Amino acid sequence: MLRPPRDHDIVEDLLGGILVVIGNTHPPNGLIAYLKYVRSSGKTLWRHGNTYYERVLKSYGVRNLHKYVSMLQEFTFDPVLNAYVPFIKSARIRNYYYPELRFQELLSRAEDELELAVLEFADMFRSYAGSVGSSLGVTGSLLTKTHNAKVSDADVVIYGCKCSKEFMESVENFTSLRPDYKALIRQSKTYGLPVEVLSKIYPPYKKLLVRGRVVNVIFVNDAQHLRYGSEVYITLHPVELLVEVLGNDCNSLFYPSTSHIYKVIDVLHPKNINLKRELITTIVSYEGLFSYQLYIGGSLRVRGLLQKVLPANEYRVLVGGIEEPGYVIPV
């Protein structure tokens, strides 16, 4: 490998399946990654050469991931995360795709309108935030060259805290397509939240319109990775809190989204919790939908799984667990 694995890298398995890497910290014998595309016997929207692919994950959300992927991919119990995770062993990885290398390739030669939209996005970002250099990559079907130039979106990766915050300061210069009502209704069924709330927390860096094409921005941490096993998490029970988060923390934009709790205002559930509030220090969300709200910060209502963090003897709220998907919404 050219570098340690990062969130939203892509790997191809021995059967030709395409998997997306989740997060930056992984067991020594493989990667936490979910299966997104498999080879298809018929014609589909996605192909590379004469090989067609069909999408496994029909819609996002942790429960949808488990629903659609678990029958086609191994889920392994991870003793560090204390959860079942989609996993691929190192021995089953045939090809590894690096988003930043594919972006450099596009700089040399862009071949269709979607690839040109990525370059125009990079130029716009550079004009608003200065030099971005090697801080950009592309993921999704563009990375594996299986995209459909007419209908695919472009998924652009911004690496590192500095460039991520610079983009957030300039995001208002881009045109963002808000989700329509039907899309919000589908999200409402997935997340169990009202349409009005979903509309309010929708990230402004999704569905950017560039050169008539849709560009989605994904933020990835390029700093030193947390060593696997340096922290261990013990799941206790569901919890619901009112908290104060300061916001403007780039770690909230990365996946999984991580935010420091400035203050626990109130414990809504369970009322009889036998724990000092100041020991609950962190929110970690595996639902990317809530990253933007955590980045904004303020007074938030948070529901998830309470986990003890060892060896620190602190506690965190995990949002996006299969047992309790939870949410992060403004008060």
Among candidate residues 253, 249, 251, the one with its CA nearest the CA of residue 218 = 253
Question: What gap in Å lies between CA 216 and CA 204, rounded to an integer?
Answer: 10
Q: Which residues contact 217 (CB under 8 A, 6 or more apart)?
A: 156, 158, 167, 205, 206, 208
Residue 78's φ and ψ, nearest 5 degrees, are: -100, 115
* Burial profile 75-97: b = 16 or more Cβ within 10 angstroms, e = fewer: bbebeebbbebbbbeeebbeeeb
Question: What gap in Å lies between CA 68 and CA 89, rounded to an integer?
Answer: 20
Question: What gap in Å lies between CA 166 and CA 96, rounded to an integer?
Answer: 29
Neighbours of 255 (CB within 10 A): 19
Domains by residue range for the chain, with CATH: 10-97 (no CATH), 99-220 (no CATH), 232-330 (2.40.50)
Which pLDDT belongs to residue 56? 86
Question: What gap in Å lies between CA 53 and CA 47, rounded to an integer?
Answer: 6
Question: What gap in Å lies between CA 12 and CA 25, rounded to an integer?
Answer: 19
Which pLDDT belongs to residue 176? 92
Q: What percent of the chain has pLDDT over 70?
A: 95
Largest CA distance in the chain: 61
Which pLDDT belongs to residue 131? 62
DSSP bridge partners of 80 = none
Question: What does 264-316 look like in DSSP terms, one character per residue?
Answer: EEEEEE-TT--S-GGGEEEEEES-GGGHHHHHH-EEEEEEEEEEEEETTTEEE
For the chain, state the CA radius of gyration: 20
Q: What is the mean pLDDT of the chain?
A: 93
Question: Is 80 exceeded by the pLDDT of residue 159?
Answer: yes
Tell me: the pLDDT tens digits for 97-115?
999 999 999 999 999 999 9
Tell me: the pLDDT tens digits for 254-287?
999 999 999 999 999 999 888 999 999 999 999 9
Given pLDDT bands bounded at 50, 70 and 90, which one contains residue 46? very high
- 125, burial (CB in 10 Å: exposed 0-12, middle 13-18, buried 19+): buried
Neighbours of 222 (CB within 10 A): 23
Question: Is 70 exceeded by the pLDDT of residue 64?
Answer: no
